[in-house]
């Protein structure tokens, strides 16, 4: 090597550029006072992925845009309890929400409801018609983990129907259950009606007679989150949610 210092010098220049770039971009996009209300950070249950995308489109008309973090409700509340910078939290059940009650600026409110369905591959090749069909050992069934609201509701539904299922996997968010069925890795899963709607064309939904109804709660973690919560509860917000298949609270 003729110039041993050259690669190192180039590396340090590159590193410096990256660091400076990062600094300047954070300082320019740093929201000022009042700005954060227009650009809240929203932690939401993964089943809200499409519906909250729709909420964001509706908000865009008001010059507002939320940043979302979608995951299983139980993962989101654990992050908030550890100080994650959320302005709003929306969970798929009341139990999970209650664990972060002390972090909210106002009590959480129910903003939507959702039914459970069985999803199968498109056309329902295994002719699943009820929960009892899921006990068939030849069927690869995937559920959400019981710590996830969707998994808890599914367990309730199965227990009420006196059906024992041996799932192949317990996913950490309901959308992973849908994905496994969409990809054909699983034959059937239990998800929300709204998830099945989002996967329309790739999966077939089998409605459940009766069964638990999920009730979704939303709360503001700080004042910057109040406007988003108000919008979700307002008539325009509710019509977006119902467009994506959610039931009114």
Partner 1 sequence: MNRRPPLTLATAAVVGLAFLGLPLVALLVRAPWRHLLSLVSTPAARTALRLSIECSFGALAIAIITGVPIAWLLARREFPGKSFVRALVTVPLVLPPVVGGVALLFAFGRRGIMPLHIAFTTWAAVLAEAFVAMPFLVLAVEGALGSLDHRYEDVASTLGAGPLHTFRRVTLPLVAPGLAAGAALAWARALGEFGATITFAGNLPGHTQTLPLAVYVALQSSPDTAIALSVLLLAVSVLVLVVLRGRWRGLRP
Q: Give me the residues that bind partner 1 (CB under 8 A), please.
A: 72, 74-75, 78, 140, 142, 145, 147, 167-172, 180, 183-186
Q: Name which of 184 and 207 has its Cβ closer to partner 1.
A: 184
Residue 38 CA to residue 43 CA, distance in Å, equals 15
Q: Name which of 167 and 225 has its Cβ closer to partner 1.
A: 167
CB atoms within 10 A of CB 247: 16
User: What is the nearest approach in angstroms of partner 1 to the Cβ of residue 179?
Assistant: 10
User: What is the nearest approach in angstroms of partner 1 to the Cβ of residue 59?
Assistant: 29
Show the tokens assigned to 24: 């300047």
Residue 134 CA to residue 105 CA, distance in Å, equals 43
Residue 245 CA to residue 116 CA, distance in Å, equals 12
Residue 121 CA to residue 54 CA, distance in Å, equals 26
User: What is the nearest approach in angstroms of partner 1 to the Cβ of residue 168?
Assistant: 4
Residue 234 CA to residue 44 CA, distance in Å, equals 18
User: What is the nearest approach in angstroms of partner 1 to the Cβ of residue 233?
Assistant: 27
Q: Determine contact, residues 224/87, Cβ cutoff 8 Å.
A: yes
Q: Name which of 151 and 245 has its Cβ closer to partner 1.
A: 151
* Count of all residues that appear for the chain in the document: 249
Q: Name which of 168 and 226 has its Cβ closer to partner 1.
A: 168
CB atoms within 10 A of CB 167: 21
**Partners of 119 in the β-ladder:** 189, 205
User: What is the nearest approach in angstroms of partner 1 to the Cβ of residue 165?
Assistant: 12
Q: Name which of 140 and 227 has its Cβ closer to partner 1.
A: 140
């Amino acid at each position: 090597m003729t110039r041993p210092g050259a690669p190192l010098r180039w590396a340090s220049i590159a590193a410096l550029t990256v660091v400076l770039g990062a600094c300047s971009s954070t300082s320019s996009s740093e929201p000022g006072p009042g700005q954060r209300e227009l650009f809240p950070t929203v932690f939401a249950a993964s089943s809200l992925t499409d519906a909250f995308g729709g909420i964001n489109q509706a908000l865009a008309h008001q010059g507002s845009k939320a940043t979302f973090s979608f995951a299983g409700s139980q993962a989101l509340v654990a992050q908030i309890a550890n100080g994650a910078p959320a302005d709003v939290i929306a969970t798929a059940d009341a139990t999970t929400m209650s664990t972060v009650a002390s972090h909210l600026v106002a009590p959480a409110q129910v903003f939507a409801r959702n039914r459970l369905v069985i999803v199968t591959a498109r056309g329902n090749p295994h002719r699943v018609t009820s929960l009892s069909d899921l006990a068939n050992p030849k069927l690869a069934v995937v559920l959400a983990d019981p710590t996830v609201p969707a998994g808890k509701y599914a367990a309730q539904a199965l227990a009420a129907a006196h059906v024992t299922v041996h799932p192949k996997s317990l996913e950490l968010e309901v959308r992973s259950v849908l994905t496994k069925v969409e990809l054909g890795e699983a034959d059937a899963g239990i998800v929300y009606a709204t998830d099945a709607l989002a996967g329309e064309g790739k999966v077939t939904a089998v409605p459940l007679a009766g069964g638990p109804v999920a009730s979704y709660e939303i709360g503001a973690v700080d004042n910057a989150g109040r406007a988003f919560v108000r919008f979700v509860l307002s008539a325009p917000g509710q019509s977006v949610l119902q467009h994506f298949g959610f039931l009114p609270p």
